[in-house]
A = this chain, B = another copy of it.
Amino acid sequence: MTASADPVAFSDPVYREAVVDLLAAVGYGEVSAFERLAEDAKLAPTLEDKLALGTFASQQLAKAQLICARLAELGTDPFAMMETFRDGFERFHAHTAPSDWWEGLVKAYVGDGLANDFYREIAAFLDPETRELVLTSLEDTGHAGFVVDRVRAGIEADHRLAGRLALWGRRLMGEALTEAQRVAADRDALSALLAGGVDMPGLDLAAIGRMFARLTDRHVERMTGLGLEH
């Protein structure tokens, strides 16, 4: 059991709860990404793109399995823990249902990019083993390059696509921030992890502000990478 292999961090019940919450959020996010990518695969214009999206979907599910295994090791019911994040993710998806192949591509790229950046920021506050698992779980498996390639070619073929997708990217960012704030407000342990504790360094309001500035910068970089105004 890692709780005993890493007694300092996990002896703090608030820390432990924060780690379980974080892993459960990452895990549900991956299950949800699987579902969304499998759904997007249906809209693929070619069988080759369908297989590519399906493969990205499968990789998300494989990552979710690793998270489940770790949640079980920590003595929790992985499915029950992940389930507590269902509403937040489903609300986000209900508000951002893509209307076509292009919106689906951009959503996966922007949404996963943003979520991954956020989890990476949080990972700095974790014990090494959990950090390693979270970072592995966020590794890009070629998906971002695929989206950039397809969207740039799409805009090349039809320039009007750029304006529509730029608006769509802004809307996704807004919806994601709304949900992230809701989650932060609901999860005391996660917020406490970010805020630090007696013997843990944390973030003050200014530092949280800087973190959001970094997340926004990276979002802008991603949109630019797609060839879109932000």
Give chain B nearest CB distance to A107 CB in angstroms: 17
- Chain A: residues with Cβ within 8 Å of the partner, total of 25
Query: Which stretch of A15-23, A46-54, A137-145, A205-213 is in the interface?
Result: A46-54
Residue-wise interface mask of A (40-76) relative to B, using a CB-CB cutoff of 8 A (1 in contact, 0 not): 0110001110110011011001101100100000000
In the complex the two chains form, what is the Cα distance from A38 to B60 in whole Å?
13
Of the candidates B31, B38, B48, B50, the one whose C-beta lies within 8 Å of that of A57 is B38
Task: Tell me which residues across on chain B come within 8 A of A46, comparing CB atoms.
Answer: 79
Contact A65 B51 (CB under 8 A): yes
Give chain B nearest CB distance to A197 CB in angstroms: 31
Residues of A at under 8 Å CB distance from B?
A: 31, 34-35, 38-39, 41-42, 46-48, 50-51, 54-55, 57-58, 61-62, 64-65, 68, 79, 82-83, 86
Provide a sorted-by-A list of 12 A–B residue pairs whose CB atoms are within 8 angstroms. Answer: A35-B41, A35-B42, A38-B38, A38-B39, A38-B41, A38-B54, A47-B79, A47-B86, A51-B65, A51-B68, A51-B79, A57-B58
A-B contact sample (20 more), CB < 8 A, given A31-B51, A38-B41? A31-B47, A31-B50, A31-B54, A34-B38, A34-B54, A35-B38, A35-B42, A35-B54, A38-B54, A46-B79, A47-B82, A47-B83, A47-B86, A51-B65, A51-B79, A55-B61, A57-B61, A58-B58, A58-B61, A58-B62
